[in-house]
């Protein structure tokens, strides 16, 4: 009995010691299944930025683990790149074929019929130019004035004013239209034209200098100065537009021509204002007019215009090749230097003669080739004949419009073409993506 009580007391003391020992095992519990008490631990303040602080108190993985993970990621990226390079690549989507430019007439038959219609329209406009003015002239009066001697004032007006004015419009319109087309073809610049690139302005300055300093007063005297001024202006503007990176781009040529035209125009205006006689004689000629030239003047300039037109027709096939690029044109056998020399001579003859007889008429050489392309396409073999017809049509219509808008006064043809051509120029700059040409 006593022994049992002693054993019971020893077992109870052992259990109490097991509860209080730090190294007691999990299975050493009391009779009622109570857990041993957890010893008190002093909280440790962790320094900010330490590995345990960043991991929320958990011990940070060793550097070897970081190094192994980084090497594994590099290996995976290398394998992925190798797979991308060795895998068969998908072919690019096929490009859409370039759409042909929209033209009104296609085929030789349609274009030929269109030329016949344009020639008939030109005949109607020419007759209208003879009949319309400050006072109306009947068709019978025109026939009578051409049939017999000029006895009445009406006959003299028809013979010496209306008909020379109409013929001047025919020659100048054709010359400026062809010159603009050739300039656009040689430079592959849709903004090129005798007025835009300063050729007309240079020719006008040379003529005014000849009149003011040398006293030249006839077309036969100052037409040579017009040729020299046109040639110098063309060379200077092309040189100025070729400076810098990229060569002679369309925008650079247009800006160079605009700057040169502004400078030369200011000098021309200053000369005409300082010399009263020059101002009286050529104040209308400076803005572009068809009223000054007479029959003798037209006889003088006609051979030069015809020679320039023939030179343009001779290089029409070469202009089609140049439109494909210089390298392609050379591979097709085109002699670029010879073609450019003939084209430059054609432009100088056409623009110089037109400026000498009518003054610096602007925007005709720019607008006419674009209208012709809309009708017949970019082929210069058809484009040049259309420019020969469309140029006079537009110029004579502008002249007739200038007669009737402010009747009995008249607006010179250069003012009308500028009012109509400036919006067309802005349209080209806005819609034709000039910097990419």
Q: What is the C-alpha separation between 17 and 31, in angstroms, rounded? A: 14
Run of H or E residues at 213: helix 199-214
Q: How far apart are the first and last CA of the chain?
A: 121
User: CA 119 to CA 110: how far, in whole Å?
Assistant: 14
pLDDT single digits (tens) 387-400: 999 999 999 999 99
pLDDT band at 145 (very low <50, low <70, confident <90, very high): confident
Q: Is residue 214 a contact partner of residue 194, using CB atoms and an 8 Å limit? A: no
* pTM for this model (two decimals): 0.72
pLDDT of 287:
76
Which pLDDT score, from 0 to 100, does residue 387 have?
96
- The predicted pLDDT at position 166 comes to 94
Q: What average pLDDT does range 175-202 have in this prediction?
A: 88
Q: How confident is the model at residue 327 (pLDDT cuts 50, 70, 90)?
A: confident
pLDDT at 214: 85
Per mean pLDDT, which range of 33-37, 115-119, 293-297 is the poorest?
Answer: 33-37
Q: Which of 355, 377, 304 is nearest to 194 (CA)?
A: 355
Tell me the CATH number for domain 172-436.
1.10.3470.10
Q: In the prediction, which pLDDT does 289 show?
A: 84
The pLDDT of residue 122 is 96
In terms of pLDDT, which residue wins out, 434 or 63?
63
Q: Residue length, the chain? A: 437
What pLDDT is recorded for position 346? 93
- The ranges assigned to domains in the chain are 172-436
Model pLDDT, residue 41? 53
CB neighbourhood size of 214 (10 A):
11
Query: For position 198, what pLDDT does the model report?
Result: 86
pLDDT band at residue 430 using 50, 70 and 90 as cut-offs: confident
**What is the rounded CA–CA span in Å between residue 380 and residue 322?**
11
The residue ranking higher by pLDDT, 316 or 222, is 316
What confidence score (pLDDT) does residue 437 get? 41
Mean pLDDT score, 161-187: 93
Residue 16: the pLDDT is 52
- pLDDT band at residue 435 under the 50/70/90 scheme: very low
- Please say if the pLDDT value at position 229 is more than 70: yes
Residue 175 confidence class, pLDDT cut points 50, 70, 90: very high
Angle at which helices 336-358 and 219-242 cross, to 10°: 130
Of 416 and 36, which is predicted with more confidence? 416
Of 84, 86, 64, 82, whose CA–CA distance to 74 is shortest? 82
> What pLDDT does residue 433 have?
47
What is the band of 293 on the pLDDT scale with cuts at 50, 70, 90? confident
Per-residue pLDDT band for 263 (boundaries 50, 70, 90) equals: very high
Distance CA 387, CA 392 (A): 9
Greatest Cα pair distance in the chain: 176
**Which pLDDT score is estimated for 381?**
92
What distances in angstroms separate CA 382 from CA 22, 111, 364, 388, one per listed residue? 111, 8, 18, 10
Contacts of 434 (CB under 8 A, 6+ apart): 190, 191, 250, 251, 254, 428
Q: Where are the alpha helices (DSSP H) in 21-103?
A: 51-54, 63-86
pLDDT at position 91, please? 57
What is the share, in percent, of the chain residues with pLDDT greater than 70? 73
Considering 1-10, 39-48, 131-140, 257-266, the range whose residues carry the highest mean pLDDT is 257-266
pLDDT tens track for 67-116:
666 667 777 777 666 655 554 555 555 555 445 567 787 888 889 999 99
pLDDT of the residue at 125: 95
**How much is the pLDDT for 222?**
81
Q: Give the three-state DSSP class for 361.
A: coil
Instruction: Give the pLDDT of residue 113.
Output: 93
pLDDT of residue 332: 87
Q: What is the mean pLDDT of the chain?
A: 79
Query: How far apart, in whole angstroms, are the C-alpha atoms of residue 316 and residue 322?
Result: 10
| Mean predicted confidence (pLDDT) in 340-365 | 89
Q: Do residues 295 and 156 make contact, with C-beta atoms less than 8 angstroms apart?
A: no
Q: Which residue has the higher pLDDT, 144 or 151?
A: 144
pLDDT score at 36: 57
pLDDT of the residue at 409: 84
Range from 58-72, 133-147, 241-255 carrying the lowest mean pLDDT: 58-72
Task: Judge whether residue 21 has pLDDT over 80.
Answer: no
**Would you say residue 415 has pLDDT above 80?**
yes
């Amino acid at each position: 009995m006593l022994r049992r009580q002693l054993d019971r007391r020893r077992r109870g003391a052992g259990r109490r010691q097991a509860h209080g020992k730090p190294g007691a095992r999990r299975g050493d519990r009391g009779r009622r299944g109570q857990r041993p008490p957890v010893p008190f631990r002093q909280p440790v303040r962790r320094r900010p930025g330490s590995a345990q602080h960043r991991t929320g108190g958990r011990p940070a993985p060793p550097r070897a683990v970081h190094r192994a993970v980084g090497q594994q990621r590099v290996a995976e990226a290398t394998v992925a790149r190798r797979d991308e390079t060795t895998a068969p690549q998908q072919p690019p989507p096929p490009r859409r074929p370039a759409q042909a430019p929209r033209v009104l007439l296609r085929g030789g038959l349609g274009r030929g019929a269109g030329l016949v219609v344009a020639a008939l329209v030109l005949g109607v406009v020419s007759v209208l130019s003879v009949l319309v003015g400050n006072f109306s002239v009947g068709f019978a009066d025109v026939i009578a004035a051409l049939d017999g001697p000029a006895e009445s004032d009406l006959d003299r007006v028809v013979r010496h004013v209306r008909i020379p004015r109409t013929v001047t419009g025919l020659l100048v319109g054709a010359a400026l239209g062809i010159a603009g087309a050739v300039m656009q073809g040689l430079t592959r610049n849709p903004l090129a034209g005798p007025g835009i690139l300063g050729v007309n302005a240079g020719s006008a300055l040379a003529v005014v200098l000849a009149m003011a300093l040398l006293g030249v007063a006839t077309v036969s005297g100052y037409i040579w100065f017009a040729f020299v001024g046109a040639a110098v202006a063309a060379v200077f503007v092309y040189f100025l537009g070729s400076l810098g990176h990229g060569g002679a781009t369309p925008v650079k040529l247009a800006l160079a021509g605009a700057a040169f035209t502004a400078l030369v125009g200011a000098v021309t205006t200053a000369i005409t204002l300082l010399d009263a006689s020059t101002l009286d004689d050529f104040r209308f000629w400076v803005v572009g007019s068809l009223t000054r030239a007479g029959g003798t003047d037209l006889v003088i300039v006609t051979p030069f215009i015809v020679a320039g037109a023939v030179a343009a027709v001779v290089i029409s096939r070469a202009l089609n090749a140049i439109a494909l690029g210089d390298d392609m044109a050379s591979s097709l056998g085109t002699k670029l230097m010879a073609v450019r020399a003939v084209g430059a001579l054609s432009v100088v003859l056409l623009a110089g003669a037109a400026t000498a007889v009518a003054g610096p008429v602007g925007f005709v050489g720019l607008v006419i080739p674009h209208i012709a392309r809309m009708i017949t396409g970019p082929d210069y073999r058809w484009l040049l004949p259309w420019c020969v017809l469309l140029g006079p049509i537009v110029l004579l219509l502008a002249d007739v419009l200038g007669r009737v808008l402010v009747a009995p006064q008249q607006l010179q043809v250069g003012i009308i073409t500028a009012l109509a051509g400036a919006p067309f120029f802005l349209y080209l700059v806005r819609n034709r993506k000039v910097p990419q040409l």
